[in-house]
């Protein structure tokens, strides 16, 4: 891990020094800043706050908002729930993989994009739906998928 990332982790830990019940917010801040929570981050939190590393790991692995693997700069969520699936969600996912040169979901090697499947985004009438960095794109088609991703490229 780069020294700058370790410095950032220490800076975030310092913000919560001596505060009760700070673990989840501290972890969310690290996730937001670095796009993942590394083993080194968990070890630093454990050591500096006297929290067992197993407890930290359980918290990180429980919450979907936290990741033990590096996430990309842009998070692309393709809905494959029933309504989106029957309206072509799989074709949208395939086009996203093709555009990002990926065989499966995950993070691109340059950490520019993370592609993930979600089971429902709660807006079935707009299906198929894709969310990029919190921005919803409804009535998606494979050609619109490529155009959408190019805007974030």
**Do residues 97 and 150 make contact, with C-beta atoms less than 8 angstroms apart?**
no
Q: What are 114-139's pLDDT values in tens digits? A: 999 999 999 999 999 999 999 999 99
Q: For the stretch 109-136, what's the b/e string if a residue is b when 16 or more beta carbons lie within 10 angstroms of its beta carbon?
A: eeeebbbbebeebeebebbbbbbbeeee
Question: What is the Cα Rg of the chain in Å?
Answer: 18
Q: What are 81-97's pLDDT values in tens digits? A: 999 999 999 999 999 99
Q: List alpha helices for the chain, DSSP H.
A: 3-15, 23-34, 39-49, 53-62, 82-86, 89-100, 142-152
List the pLDDT tens digit at each of the 153 positions of the chain: 788 888 999 999 999 988 889 999 999 999 999 999 999 999 999 999 999 999 999 999 999 889 999 999 999 999 999 999 999 999 999 999 999 999 999 999 999 999 999 999 999 999 999 999 999 999 999 999 999 999 997
Max CA distance (Å), the chain: 52
C-alpha–C-alpha distance, residues 121 and 75, integer Å: 14
Other C-beta atoms within 10 Å of 35: how many? 17
Kindly give, in sequence order, each residue whose CB lies less than 8 Å from that of residue 143, ignoring residues fewer than 6 positions away: 95
**CATH number assigned to the domain with residue range 74-152, chosen from the 4 options 3.40.50.10880, 3.40.920.10, 3.30.300.30, 3.40.30.10:** 3.40.30.10
């Amino acid at each position: 891990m780069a020294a700058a990332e370790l410095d950032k982790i220490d800076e975030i830990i310092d913000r919560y020094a001596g505060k009760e019940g700070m673990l989840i917010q501290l972890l969310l801040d690290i996730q937001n800043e670095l796009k993942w929570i590394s083993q080194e981050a968990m070890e630093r939190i454990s050591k500096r706050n006297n929290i067992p590393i197993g407890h930290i790991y359980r918290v990180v692995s429980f919450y979907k908002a936290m990741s033990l693997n590096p996430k990309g700069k842009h998070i692309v969520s393709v809905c494959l729930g029933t309504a989106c699936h029957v309206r072509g969600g799989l074709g949208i996912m395939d086009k996203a993989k093709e555009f990002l040169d990926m065989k499966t979901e995950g993070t691109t090697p340059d950490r520019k994009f993370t592609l993930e499947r979600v089971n429902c985004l709660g807006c079935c009438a707009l299906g198929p739906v894709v969310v990029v960095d919190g921005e919803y794109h409804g009535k998606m088609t494979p050609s619109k998928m490529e155009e959408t991703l190019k805007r974030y490229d």
